[in-house]
């Protein structure tokens, strides 16, 4: 009875959707009501909530993920404070305590788990050290107290600061011209047909290292590249997205780029996983291309059944979302690629448009 009622409401909604949509655009409150019935956004906001809960719980339960994300963001903020012109005599007072707290936790957890500090934590060590040197004693009671706490952690774990702190930009001319970069951009096309030839992991790893150099909001890098080169897994996973029918059977490698919403305590940052991961994906594809490896982006559809399938297949937690997928491999010399005319410059840009 209830299902029938829901079905009838949904059918009715489809009929009257266009005028209601107009209403929602005019008065945003109505869009909340609209999406109570149309559940297209359900998984997205559930994941955003799951991410926020995991972040908060992780901070109180001292998990490495939450503290690492907080430490990365705040280390980035400290570096911005250090390079600001003119530099303020005292800065970061509203987040320096939580930064030292996260540093202490991450150092402890990494030493216990891995026996050594990651490069990211070394960066935090160096930047915090530079911060406490710049804000000299007696300028702020808070900073003095936290300097003491920071020094104690360093002493306890025998940590010596290095030089992962703000640097002068390399001014030597790059040996890459705009024409060369354009050649790479023209050569990179969506390749859908591949040779039956394994792709060396070393080549993929090198491309991921380059992808990892991409910008990301507050340098959090809230994503991972999940690479599948096991033929059974590739076959299973590559058939899940919708845009691969007719050619996924010959993918040598399938990639799922997964975003981590547990990097954020605030809903305002919910789109950052998509932006950061996409920037990295572009660099990844260029880096593959320089090694003669073709690739094709694959859309990830936000459809309940598909989401369930991929979550189960690759074991995603509630805060993890597939941003996009990719296929890659050595291009089949007989395989064609669509012409895909790009927009003219005039269709892509404007200056000072108001």
Rounded to a whole number of angstroms, the minimum distance from the CB of residue 307 to ligand FMN is 16
122 binds ligand FMN (CB under 6 A): no
Q: Rounded CA gap, 172 and 204, in Å?
A: 29
Q: Interface with ligand FMN includes 236 (CB under 6 A)? A: no
Q: Beta-carbon neighbour count of residue 352 at 10 Å?
A: 4
Whose Cβ is closer to ligand FMN: residue 13's or residue 185's?
185
Cβ proximity of 254 and 300 under 8 Å: no
The rounded Cα 305 to chain-centroid distance in angstroms is 24
Among 20, 95, 243, 311, binds ligand FMN (CB under 6 A): 243
Residue 207 within binding range of ligand FMN, rule CB under 6 A: no
- Cα–Cα–Cα angle for 65, 70, 73, nearest 5°? 125
253 near 199, Cβ under 8 Å?
yes
At which residue do the structure tokens 């949904």 appear?
10
Site membership for ligand FMN, residue 298 (CB under 6 A):
yes
62 binds ligand FMN (CB under 6 A): no
The correct pick among 43, 122, 149, 189 for binding ligand FMN (CB under 6 A) is: 189
Whole-angstrom distance, CA of residue 47 vs CA of residue 45: 5
Stretch that binds ligand FMN, among 127-135, 156-164, 257-265, 293-301 (CB under 6 A): 293-301
- Which residue from 133, 299, 304, 308 is in contact with ligand FMN, where contact means CB under 6 A? 299
- Tell me the closest approach of the beta carbon of residue 260 to ligand FMN, in angstroms: 19
**Interface pattern 68-107 for ligand FMN (x via CB under 6 A):** ----------------------------------------
| Residue nearer to ligand FMN on the CB measure, 175 or 347 | 347
DSSP code string of 177-195 = -HHHHHHHHHH--B---B-
Tell me the HSE value of 276 on the side-chain side, using a 13 A CA sphere. Answer: 24
82 SS3 class: helix
Q: What is the spatial distance between Cα 92 and Cα 74, in angstroms, rounded to a whole number?
A: 9
Contact pick of 297, 306, 309, 314 for ligand FMN (by CB under 6 A): 297
Contact with ligand FMN (CB under 6 A) among 253, 296, 310, 328: 296
Q: How far is CA 326 from CA 111, 235, 256, in A?
A: 35, 13, 7
203: number of Cβ within 10 Å: 17
Shortest distance in whole angstroms from residue 56 CB to ligand FMN: 31
CB of 190 to ligand FMN, least distance (A): 3
Among 293, 324, 326, 328, binds ligand FMN (CB under 6 A): 324
Cβ closest to ligand FMN, residue 114 vs residue 303: 303
Q: Is 239 among the residues that bind ligand FMN (CB under 6 A)?
A: no
Using the minimum distance from each CB to ligand FMN, give the nearer residue, 31 or 278: 278
Contact 85, 293 (CB under 8 A): no
Q: Which two tokens stand for residue 283?
A: 């660099």
How far apart are alpha carbons 259 and 11 in whole angstroms?
A: 34
Q: What residue ranges bind ligand FMN (CB under 6 A)?
A: 189-190, 192, 241, 243-244, 296-299, 324, 337, 340
């Amino acid at each position: 009875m209830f299902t029938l009622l829901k079905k009838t409401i949904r059918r009715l909604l489809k009929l009257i959707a266009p005028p209601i949509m107009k209403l929602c655009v005019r008065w945003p409150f109505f869009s909340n009501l609209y999406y109570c019935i149309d559940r297209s956004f359900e998984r997205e906001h559930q994941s955003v909530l799951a991410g926020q809960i995991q972040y908060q719980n992780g901070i109180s339960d001292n998990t490495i993920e939450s503290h690492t994300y907080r430490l990365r963001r705040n280390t980035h903020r400290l570096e911005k404070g250090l390079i600001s012109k003119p530099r303020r005599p005292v800065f970061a007072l509203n987040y320096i305590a939580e930064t030292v707290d996260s540093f202490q936790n991450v150092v402890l957890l990494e030493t216990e788990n891995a026996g050594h500090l990651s490069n990211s934590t070394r960066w935090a060590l160096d930047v915090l050290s530079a911060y406490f040197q710049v804000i000299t004693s007696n300028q702020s009671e808070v900073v003095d107290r936290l300097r003491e706490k920071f020094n104690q952690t360093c002493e306890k774990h025998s940590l010596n600061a290095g030089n992962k702190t703000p640097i002068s930009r390399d001014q030597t001319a790059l040996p890459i011209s705009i024409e060369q970069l354009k050649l790479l951009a023209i050569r990179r096309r969506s390749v859908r047909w591949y040779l039956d030839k394994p792709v060396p992991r070393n080549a993929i790893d090198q491309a991921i290292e380059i992808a990892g150099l991409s910008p990301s909001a507050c340098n959090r890098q809230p994503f991972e590249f999940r690479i599948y080169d096991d033929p059974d897994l590739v076959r299973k996973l590559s058939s899940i997205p919708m845009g691969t029918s007719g050619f996924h059977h010959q993918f040598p490698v399938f990639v799922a780029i997964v975003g981590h919403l547990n990097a954020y305590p605030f809903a305002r940052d919910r789109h950052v996983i998509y932006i950061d991961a996409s920037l990295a994906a572009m660099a990844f594809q260029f880096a593959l291309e320089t090694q003669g490896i073709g690739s094709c982006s694959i859309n990830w559809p936000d459809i309940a059944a598909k989401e369930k399938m991929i979550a189960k297949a690759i074991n995603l937690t509630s805060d993890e979302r597939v941003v996009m997928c990719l296929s890659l491999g050595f291009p089949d010399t007989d395989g064609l690629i669509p012409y895909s005319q790009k927009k003219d410059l005039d269709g892509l840009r404007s200056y000072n448009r108001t």
